[in-house]
Amino acid sequence: MIKIHPNTVFINGAISPAWIANAIQSHHTQKHTGGHSIFLGQVRMDIIDNKPVEAIEYTTYTEMAIDALQLMCTELEKKYALDAIQVNHSLGIVNAGEICLFVFTSAKHRRAAVDACTELVERIKAELPVWGREIFSDQTHSWKENKN
């Protein structure tokens, strides 16, 4: 069963393509796996009140986030008979155009991997206690809110 630990989930700053390659490398050799599904969330340069978002600063309630993620992963691992799950989320500053979320699922059949990944992303948006402070170029900010 997958075990979620604080220092394997949260990453300081943006998630790099090299990090993603390492994660894929570490999971992709199980010979009974047929498909991997990956979602990458990226900080988007939204325009809010005519001001472009330059970066988002993320904070979390670590202990609660780990509990929430452990619950999600345990439920989805069982529901979809997953071979692997990995979640990484950035904390601190992530600039527009950089990656802040990495979700990875593997399963014997592609539909299980794809459906599990999609469901996990939706649950992370709704249930993970993480807050994003959108920072504009004039150093003002607003607090992001996920909508369903």
Partner 1 sequence: MKISILAFGKIAEIAGKSQWEEIPVQDTDSLRKKLENDFPALQNMSYRIAINKQIIHCNQPIQSSCEIALLPPFSGG
Question: Which residue ranges make up the site for partner 1 (CB under 8 A)?
Answer: 41, 58-61, 63-64, 67, 89, 100-101, 121, 124-133, 143-146
Give me the least distance between CB of 112 and a copy of itself, in Å please: 12
Give me the least distance between CB of 2 and partner 1, in Å please: 19
Nearer to a copy of itself, 38 or 93 (CB): 38
Give me the least distance between CB of 18 and partner 1, in Å please: 21
Candidates 1, 3, 18, 147: give the one binding a copy of itself (CB under 8 A): 18
Number of residues that bind a copy of itself (CB under 8 A): 35
Strands 130-136 and 51-60: antiparallel
**SS3 breakdown of the chain: % helix, strand, coil, rounded to 5?**
35, 35, 30
Q: Is 21 exposed, middle or buried (0-12, 13-18, 19+ CB in 10 A)?
A: exposed
Q: 3-class DSSP state for residue 82?
A: coil
Structure tokens at 58: 């993320």
Question: Residue 70 belongs to what H/E stretch?
Answer: helix 62-79
Nearer to partner 1, 119 or 127 (CB): 127
Please give the Cα distance from 106 to 82 (Å, whole number). 6
Give me the least distance between CB of 47 and partner 1, in Å please: 17
Residues forming contacts to a copy of itself in the complex (CB under 8 A) are 17-18, 20-22, 24-25, 28-42, 44-45, 96-99, 108, 110, 113-114, 117-118, 121
